[in-house]
Structure 1
Amino acid sequence: MNLLLLLIFISSTILHANAQAQSPGNQDVRIVHHRNLNKRILVGLIACSALLAGIFVFVLYIFFRRHKNLTSSTGKSNGIIEAAKGEKETLSAVSAKLNYSRMADKKSSIAIFDFQLLESATNSFSQDNIMGETGSIIVYRARFDEHFQAAVKKADSNADREFENEVSLLSKIRHQNIIKILGYCIQGPTRGSSLTWYIRLRIAIDVARALEYLHEHSNPPVVHRDLKSSNVLLDSDFNAKLSDFGLAVASGVQHKNMKMSGTLGYVAPEYISHGKLTDKSDVYAFGVVLLELLTGRKPMHNMSSDQYQSLVTWAMPQLTDRSKLPSILDPVIQNTMDLKHLYQVAAVAVLCVQAEPSYRPLITDVLHSLIPLVPLELGGSLRVTEPIGSENLQ
């Protein structure tokens, strides 16, 4: 803007000087004006140069100032990155074997350790590495490498609720005086792996045969009243035998002052609401056992400290959706069966756990629905093209 004003000023001065030059008899005045014009141009050029030099120096100062700050910031960032790399390298022997998983109801992610990694770090859970022991819980000293040691708490399945509560709580807490949880491990990959698709169906058939005898051929007919997976015992060949008849009663007989009993998750709705007990109550419990065989889940799921969800409530919407059904199966048996057979078994389970007793089938009908899905070698009527051996029952 100053440069523009300067140019306008110079042009008007030149025009004025030319006008004076054209006036005769004013030679002296014209010379004075010409000299003044040269002085003004020189002063203007000097001022303009000084202004441009000042702007250049200022811009140069700002550039070097920002460059210096950027270099300092980059140096700090590199230091942080190097520190992080060093911390990661400390856990390199472990991190390569960890799978990170976001727990369903938590915002924080914690690590899932491979069981083999824990076994190696504790020297196969050696007695020499025991740090403490209380009941069924044992705490071991674990050494993953020369820089990384930790304590490993080992608990059996009877401590499931305490285990879930501890993992849930410690995964949310961060305090310098409270122990930090690094992760957890559930020895699940091998649990139930020997119970293949066909063996699970054979177990279901054996239980159905036991109930058919109680309901149809026993005199008087008997209602087991406490059918659940823990009351189904397996021999070395996976033959199933129904046990625990302490709560069994004769079917159709009114028992005065009979105490309501059974196991949560297996008890039929009509028995809970009205105390009504029939052979259809056993059919409901059988349906729950069948769902356990399909999904590998427990009959009741602990959602929080005071809330539970039954397996039936969770499974029903997915059992009737063929696109979702394969995804809820126990991972051990996923993709090991003919999908048509899976849909048939799911349909049987859905009928057995109907809330209305009259909608449930007789156990005889259930048995006849399952037999065609099991190979002859396992007590069914299914003919397969390849021999079925104990090592490849799928």
Structure 2
Amino acid sequence: MGFAHQAEKVEKKSSRKKKDGGEEETGCWVKLRFMGSCMSSRSRVDNSMSGRTGTHYAERKPTKEKSRDQPVVPVSSTTGSNAESASSTPKFSEELKVALQLRKFTFIDLKLATRNFRPESLLGEGGFGCVFKGWIEENGTAPVKPGTGLTVAVKTLNIDGLQGHKEWLAEVDFLGKLLHPNLVKLVGYCIEDDHRLLVYEFMPRGSLENHLFRRSLPLPWSIRMKIALGAAKGLAFLHEEAERPVIYRDFKTSNVLLDADYNAKLSDFGLAKEGPEGDKTHVSTRVMGTYGYAAPEYVMTGHLSSKSDVYSFGVVLLEMLTGRRSMDKNRPNGEHNLVEWARPHLGDKRSFFRILDPRLEGHFSVKGAQKAAQLAAQCLSRDPKARPRMIEVVETLKPLPNLKDMASSSYYFQTMQSDRARSNLNAKNGIRTQAGFVVRNGQPLRSLSSSNGPQASPSQHPHPSPKPKAKES
């Protein structure tokens, strides 16, 4: 899978006492027998809480950046001792339902394929374990020389927890039988002694999260809409085209991975759940997921339905429109929760422009942005029944990547930008407007604006930056 250029996000980090009674260790590392000292900063993850991690697969240097995602709610511990994990191994072996197309790897194969799990091969870290880049035969399981054969992402399992085994099994079960262009492909697995590893296709452009929040260059509008459409197709397949409906349950930017052409693919099925069938409207389950993305009715009642995924999609679509995270405590008061801050503006055809990602600098479709904002509002409805089905979301998004009516040529947008530039300049100079006057350092001065409203001078019109170029093939 394609992994992000930053350390993997961990929604809930808890600590675990060393067996020798030493200091507590935190962070993310996976306990593997033969890894040696492949990272100086390794530590183990305690899965005793319902932390979830989006797994990013793109080359990157290990970092110490802390996660901003948080779990929906803490749950009772499911962590067992090493002895308990070992004793449960036969049970999990019996439960493993392996699809015929999956390849079965030996641990030594994957050790050699990742060059002994060396730090230079590390792609990401998370609650599940760590992910390494590797190279295997095109149609086999044997390791090959780096840069040849098939490039893969090898995800290891932290063996210190029953929940980890369950999520590993869920990954194999769902991705082993679900094949779709917008789902990350599971190549194979390794189950040997206490080792549990998964082998995915490598996703070179990493996660949507990295492109939205960690890159200096903004993601172009057309690419954002292309990604939204691809992710929507993946969810629509799970809800309505799979043999049995599947609820993804953990849809967020870190779990949307991108291939070389920015095609979106859903990853990390550890929390996926089979959906209701027949007359049932939901399944009842323990609340797990990530703050800011989980549907409110699911958080309150534990009732999970496909409309829970639709809400999460609305949050991610809003993140793509605004360039803001779903939860950000570094924002001013009233802006910490993205949905609550943006909701009043989504239905207003004029004010919603003000919440769009300023880094786009007008390089977005006016009609496309309006339709996307309206769609986000529908997906984020407090009433689950009022939310659209994902197949309807797909139909709404289909034309948006190709619309050419750029806001940079819109008179209204230019006026809005001018007002914003004047406001920023006034704030920088300690000036604020008050009832037709300009107040500088507490002393009122007559405003230079005409009675008919502010008139921007040519020097106050911002010069739009060239549209960011994105290679699409």
Structure with the larger RCO, 1 or 2 (CA within 8 Å, 6+ apart): 2
Decide which structure has greater helix share.
1
TM-score by length of 1: 0.47
Considering only CA atoms, is the larger Rg found in Structure 1 or Structure 2? 1
TM-score (norm 2): 0.39
